[in-house]
Structure 1
Amino acid sequence: MTTLRLRVAAAFAITACLVAGCSSSSDSGDTGGEAGGTYTIWDPYPQFDGSSDWVKLLTRCGTDAGVTVERTGYDTTDLTSKALLAAQQGNSPDVLIVDNPVVSTLADAGVLTTTDELKVDTSAIEPNLLAAGQIGGEAYGIPIGANTLALYYNKAVLDKAGVDPAAIKDWAALTAALEKVKASGKKGITFSAIGTEEGSFQFLPWFWGSGANLTQLDSAQGIAALELWNGWVKSGYAPNSVLNNTQTTSWQEFATGDFAFSENGTWQLANAKKTGFEYGIIPIPSQAGGTAPAPTGGEFVTAPVQAETGRYAVTEKLIGCLTSADNAYTTDTTLSYIAATEAVQQKQVAANEELKVWVDAVKAAKGRTSDDLGTKYPKISQPMWTAFQTALSGSASPADALKTAQTTAAAATK
């Protein structure tokens, strides 16, 4: 078995841990160089058909590059395994758009080219967003945009409790607000603490907001973050349902109008307008004050390794087209993403002032695989979500749950 196939086979196991939280494969088309031929693009947006603006953009980018684009949309969970299998079989697509935590897995398996190899300019990309696709200082793609987390609030509930959302700048102020809300007869905060990557995604703003680092889950800061969540549940500020909540079911709780806050993402903006009550959005506060680093969601545009390297010149044109300022603005609006460049972010805020809080949140955000964690991240995330499930269910104290998690993560990442 070749080295590439061995590395890809190992990546399958890692991918199974990452996916929890977005047809048949085709060959990579003609083996021609820069002009003519068919170029394949795989993306995680099966909801978009040929009549959508997204697919029309892909087609137009191909036309501008002088080639025909053959596009396939897969579910996120299916796309990663398809990409790994295609690499093993030597028929990878020319352009692959994947969820950002998967980039390091594919790169480590030798599936992806670097942006330097492809001669893709990343200078305008926000460094904290680009970092989610970097390993050892090498970038393996460009973020098509980003989403992250913040706190939605119900204005009527806060008004009744006498809470000013603008005054919530740290954990103490947020917990005091939840206490007032409960005293007023309403419910405090809903979030997702489910035992999957989705739960880890929601825990990370509090974990990072304490100053904790993923390489030491049981630090004093990490314990403080879990004690915060645990205290909310014990005090009745958060419901026991958080243990089983996905981000969708958590949002459904908030949409009843009974809760003051919901930890959720940009993807709920359209649903927020349908709730029937006045809402607002504030950043997730860090323990000591200021905006906590929330994890970045969203996809990267990448270029899988091809045997025919002459194809890369057209691939670069396709990626350049998809991530150009004008096209990024349209695409990010469609996907409810914040753009990866400051210039397009400013354009988004100019068109919709409501996005300002999200732009600020994205600027403070960080990738789950950043800090050169790469493929170590899923081996840390699973013990972490097991820890907060254990603590919130009352089976162990936050300190003991995270001590066990750290032992497990340390052994897995040696």
Structure 2
Amino acid sequence: MRNARRTLIAALAVIGTLASATACGGGSNSLHSSGASGKTYTFWDPYPQFDASSAWAKLVTKCGTEAGVKIKRTGMDTSDLGNKALLAAQQGNAPDVMLVDNPVVSTLVEAGILNQTAALGLKTGSIQKNIIDAGTTVDGASYGVPIGANTLALYYNKKVLSAAHVDPASIKDWASLTAALKKVKAAGKKGITFSAINTEEGSFQFLPWFWGAGADLTRLNSSKAVAALSLWKQWVDAGYAPKDVLQNTQTTSWQEFATGQYAFSENGTWQLGNADKAGFGYGVISIPARNGGSAPVPTGGEFVTVPVQKDTGRYEVSKKIVTCLTSDANLLPTDTTLAYVGPTAVVQAEQVKRNPKLKPWVAAVASARGRTSGGLGTKYPTISQSMWTAVQDALSGGKSPRAALDAAQKAAAKGDG
């Protein structure tokens, strides 16, 4: 029991670290008693911004109806959901079905509160490998079914680039992007916005540059990692990126781009609706790798999971609910419902057919990596915190990129020990 308690405490700390992981957010709702009994099944998700009138809530209700039960849905923010799921499981009161951010899956599995999809008879064979891998643990088993994925790319302002005589098609690597930023600044406009805040959002945004340099999360202070951090520092020092990237979330970074003064914004699929409302022409290109090609980007998105229950007889209905939520027909509108690219090739192709603006995002998702994949699992939050701390130290001028990443590697190794 002592070991179980220690595991729970450690898991709670991990969930807290991952609180601001990706796009979805909002204030938390009060948690209702799960009390799953009879024909009522409980469902938790990280979407407090969606009320009962939303397309998402209506889909959840419909899937319950088709399974012959009523669903009691509770939306709360990511950190609240993870923490309360761990506590509810310890008390034997976990929800029947739960939607969780993909980096949280391995933490919940380590705490012993999620069922394997194979054990439930859920099918995941048609799901894009890199997407399902984000919810696959070290043992190679999957513990949830993704409802879609989002990730990062570069939005650009067509008017700003045109005035600076920059062809977005010419941006193929770091050198050409930096040259474009220099031209934009010389033309009297601003360069690029991104989030370097000291939370998971900052790590999420740094990863394409880190991975695009060829760096590996198991060695934060490699020469390739130093090159990535030096690039960001170069941009801030030269005025190509604003100093407030240190405080910018992905939302406030987008708000800067929406002023029409910036050439580029590193941001996600979830900003497409806002981009259409911005009032200026825009385009989207992949984040370039250091020496050309598209940089690997982190996989964002949630997995539908089935927590362990004392009454295993409930799993059959839970399986029906998950199958409904993740069917091709119901995944298809996720680009408008949740701003997600579907997790299967069939859904992605139909999404692009309906909305050609999703084409670069499908390509970006295809090159995305799970943050906890590659055997990192629950080690990732410690690595991520060390990494975002290094970014803060370097961009603020407190340490050189090399010194900041040396300290990050020591901290990550200590945390892993």
Please state how far the C-alpha of 1:251 moved relative to its aligned partner: 0.8
Give 1:59's aligned residue. 61
Asked if structure 2 preserves the Cα contact closer than 8 Å seen for 1:107 and 1:140, the reply is yes
Question: For residues 3 and 63 of structure 1, do their structure 2 counterparts lie closer, same or farther at Cα, with a shift above 3 Å needed?
Answer: farther
Question: Are 2:278 and 1:298 aligned?
Answer: no
Q: Who is 2:129 aligned against?
A: 127
Q: Following superposition of structure 1 onto structure 2, how do residues 15-34 of structure 1 map, counting pairs within 5 Å?
A: 15-21=15-21, 22=25, 23-30=30-37
User: Which residue number in structure 2 is paired with residue 144 of structure 1?
Assistant: 147
Q: Distance in 2 between matches of 1:188 and 1:134?
A: 38
TM-score between both structures, scaled by the size of structure 1: 0.96
Query: Take 2:319 and 2:18, find their aligned partners in 1: how far apart are those partners?
Result: 28
TM-superposition CA deviations, 1:42-96 (whole Å, max 9, x none): 1111222222222221122112112222211112221111111111110101100
Asked if the contact 1:7/1:110 (under 8 Å) is kept, the reply is: no
Match of 1:14 in 2: 14
Q: Hey, what's the Cα distance between the residues in 2 that align with 1:5 and 1:111?
A: 13
Q: Which amino acid aligns with 1:119?
A: G
2:323 corresponds in structure 1 to: 320
Equivalent residues, number:
409
Preserved CA contact (<8 Å) 1:134 1:372 = no
Partner in structure 2 of residue 257 of structure 1 = 260
- Aligned twin of 1:229: 232
Q: What amino acid sits opposite 2:226 in the alignment?
A: I
Change (3 A) 1:173 1:13: same
Question: For residues 217 and 133 of structure 1, what CA distance do their matches in structure 2 show?
Answer: 23
User: Partner letter of residue 161 of structure 2?
Assistant: L
2:71 corresponds to: 69
Give the alignment of 1:281-360 within 5 angstroms.
Answer: 281-360=284-363
Counterparts of 1:131 and 1:334 in 2: how far apart (Å)? 23
Instruction: Quote the residue 1:154 is aligned against.
Output: 157
- Of the three residues 243, 246, 261, the one matched with 2:246 is 243
Among 83, 86, 102, the alignment partner of 2:85 is 83
> Per-residue CA shift, 1:274-313, capped at 9, x if unaligned?
2111111101011111111111111110010011112111
Shift of 1:3: 5.6
Aligned counterparts of 1:15 and 1:58: Cα–Cα separation in 2 = 25
Residue 351 to residue 130, structure 1, CA distance change in 2 (3 Å) = same
**3-state SS of paired residue (2:265):** strand
How far apart are 1:28 and its partner, in Å? Answer: 4.7
Letter of the structure 1 residue corresponding to residue 404 of structure 2: A
Match of 2:212 among 209, 213, 218: 209
Alpha-carbon offset, residue 314 of structure 1: 1.3
Residue identity matched to 1:8? L
| Residue pair 1:43, 1:96 contacting (<8 A) in 2 also | yes
Give the conservation status (yes or no) of the 8 Å contact 1:8–1:110.
no
Structure 1 residue identity aligned to 2:143: Y
Supply the distance in 1 between the matched residues of 2:147 and 2:4 (Cα, whole angstroms).
27
Q: Deviations over 1:84-143 (max 9, x none)?
A: 111111010110001111111111110111111111101011110111111120111011
CA distance in 1, matches of 2:36, 2:376: 35
The equivalent position to 1:164 in structure 2, one of 162, 167, 171, is 167
Counterpart-to-counterpart distance in 1, 2:32 and 2:120 = 23
Q: Show the counterpart of 1:46.
A: 48
Alpha carbons of structure 1 residues 28 and 107: separation in structure 2 relative to 1, 3 Å: farther
Could you tell me how far apart the structure 2 residues matched to 1:101 and 1:267 are?
18
C-alpha RMSD of the superposition: 1.3
Alignment check: 8 A CA contact 1:339 1:345 kept: yes
**1:297-343 deviations in Å (ceiling 9; x for gaps):** 11110010011112111111110000000101123421111111111
- Structure 1 residue 196 displacement after superposition: 1.0
Could you tell me which residue of structure 2 aligns to residue 173 of structure 1?
176
363, 366, 385: which one aligns with 1:363: 366
- C-alpha distance in 1 between matches for 2:204 and 2:243: 18
Which residue identity does 1:10 align to in structure 2? A
**Farther off after superposition, 403-412 or 18-27:** 18-27
1:122 corresponds to which letter in structure 2? T
Matched, 1:412 2:378: no
1:245 positional shift: 0.9
User: Which sits farther off after the overlay, 331-340 or 88-97?
Assistant: 331-340
Identify unmatched segments of 5+ residues in structure 2: none
CA contact (8 A) 1:8 1:111 kept: no
Q: TM-score of the superposition, structure 2-length normalised?
A: 0.95
Is the contact between residue 144 and residue 332 of structure 1 (CA under 8 Å) also seen in structure 2? no
Return the match for 1:197 from 196, 200, 219: 200
- Structure 1 residue 6, shift from structure 2 partner: 4.3
State the secondary structure of the residue aligned to 2:280. Answer: coil
Structure 2: distance between partners of 1:67 and 1:196: 39
